[in-house]
Structure 1
Amino acid sequence: MSGELVGIQPRELKFTFELKKKSSCSVQLVNHSDQYVAFKVKTTSPKKYTVRPNIGVILPYATCDFTVTMQAPHEVPLGMQCKDKFLVQSTVVPFGTTVEDLPSGLFSQENSRKFEEYKLKVVLISPPNSPVLQPINAALRSSEPAYETEPAYETLKAKEQPLDQTENLPPPQVVTEDIENLRSKLSEVTEDIENLRSKLSEAERMMTRLQEEKSIILEQNETLQQEMALVKKRPRVKVQVGFSFLFVCFIGLVGASLGYLLHL
């Protein structure tokens, strides 16, 4: 359509519906202007889907893709009908703007900036060769194609469920801050590991020194025991104290002889 700021293809988000299996589809945004255009993707069911990226900037006459992933369903919806909707908002931003430059409240309802809004509906399709699941989301005539492809530019009506303003993914600036925090924590953990390694190395050196001292003590103890064993095996030497019996007899005999001679 003429005057359209951003072109969107496709206009329906088609997911292959299989229980306990995720399904994804890609959407392409085309900037039809010569200006920088920021976009943001919102959904009525943020817990069921993830959008990557859910916010960005498209350069003049350039394209940008985002991927929507539906979480694995655990039950078949009644009548295979899905009422979830997506809203793509776009607005012109100053030349040279990056994702990091976008203010957090740029796409809030309180902002007086003019937006172009595009509503995308969800269509569930059955996997190939599946006789159970059938295409849904409309009671179509047999002569009509399985899914509508007309563009949907109208905004969500008041009677419909309001779009959840909660983001599926944090803005890139927040992600960058989280990465920096993780890097800082990783650096601290690395430093702690290095300190532990240093202390462990010091403890190993101390253990080695203690083992060497223990070996020396054991060797000295063994040598001492050997010396004590040798001392015990040596014969004891008797030490005579005083004079021998023969010497006493000899002295007595000499004394008697002298006494006899003196009495003559």
Structure 2
Amino acid sequence: MPNQVLFIEPQNELKFKVDFTGHFEQGNTTYMRLTNPTADTVLFKIKTTAPKKYCVRPNSGMLDPHSKVDIAITPQVVFVDSNEKYKHKFMVQSVIAPEGKTNIDQVWKEISPDQLMDYKLKCVFETPGSTNTHDAGDAAQNDATKKRVAAETDAKPAIKEPVEALVSTTSKPDGPQNTVPPLVY
């Protein structure tokens, strides 16, 4: 199999932003740029392990010599199942267009596998503030939880009175109410 002739950006990973619950953020389109640095016309196809979960435009085409194309990849689901999050991958297949062939579909049908050039990219789902791209969601969520618990622990006053003393007591119909102000956390 020949080496990929296209320059593909990003090189290894397609990053998608998700919130702490695993839901894609609104307007979460990721772009891949294909550049043809050769003097040949190159045909390309974009494939994925999760075809129903992404809209890829364009998902195939022809790149003239020394030209570029931006591929828009938009998630079609709102939630990334944690069991699937390391399984989503994309592959760019390309082939140098044979001289005189104008029917692109026919070229793809007739091409032998040893002429195809493949390039694989994995999907990474990033949560806000994450730094570790592989376990970004889990690490960021764990860090956020630790910070929240620490902040809540520091902010809680030490309660020395019995719990019964903090509960409002009922008043007599004609008398004033005897209440204790609520604690503020």
Structure 1 unmatched runs, 5+: 140-264
**Among candidates 77, 80, 88, match of residue 84 of structure 1:** 88
Change (3 A) 1:75 1:13: closer
Whole-Å separation in 2 of the counterparts to 1:54 and 1:75: 22
SS for the counterpart of 1:47 is helix
Whole-Å separation in 1 of the counterparts to 2:132 and 2:75: 16
For 2:104, the equivalent position in structure 1 comes to 102
Q: Give the number of the structure whose residues are more often helix, by fraction.
A: 1
| Matches for 1:167-182 after TM superposition, within 5 Å | none
Q: Give the number of the structure whose residues are more often strand, by fraction.
A: 2
Q: Normalising to structure 1: TM-score of the pair? A: 0.42
Change (3 A) 1:105 1:138: farther
For 2:150, the equivalent position in structure 1 comes to none
Q: Normalising to structure 2: TM-score of the pair? A: 0.59
- Are 2:62 and 1:65 aligned? no
Q: Which string of whole-angstrom CA distances, capped at 9 and with x for unpartnered residues, describes residues 38-65 of structure 1?
A: 0000000011111000001001111111
Moved over 6 A (4+): none
Q: How many residues align?
A: 128
Q: Which string of whole-angstrom CA distances, capped at 9 and with x for unpartnered residues, describes residues 6-41 of structure 1?
A: 110102100001326452110111112101000000
Residues 8 and 30 of structure 1 are in contact (CA less than 8 Å); yes or no, is this contact kept in structure 2?
yes
Residues 24 and 75 of structure 2 are in contact (CA less than 8 Å); yes or no, is this contact kept in structure 1?
no
- Are 2:6 and 1:6 aligned? yes
SS for the counterpart of 2:134 is coil
Residues 42 and 88 of structure 1 are in contact (CA less than 8 Å); yes or no, is this contact kept in structure 2?
yes
Change (3 A) 1:66 1:135: same
Structure 2 unmatched runs, 5+: 137-185
Over the aligned positions, Cα root-mean-square deviation in angstroms equals 2.9
Residues 4 and 32 of structure 1 are in contact (CA less than 8 Å); yes or no, is this contact kept in structure 2?
no
Structure of greater Rg? 1
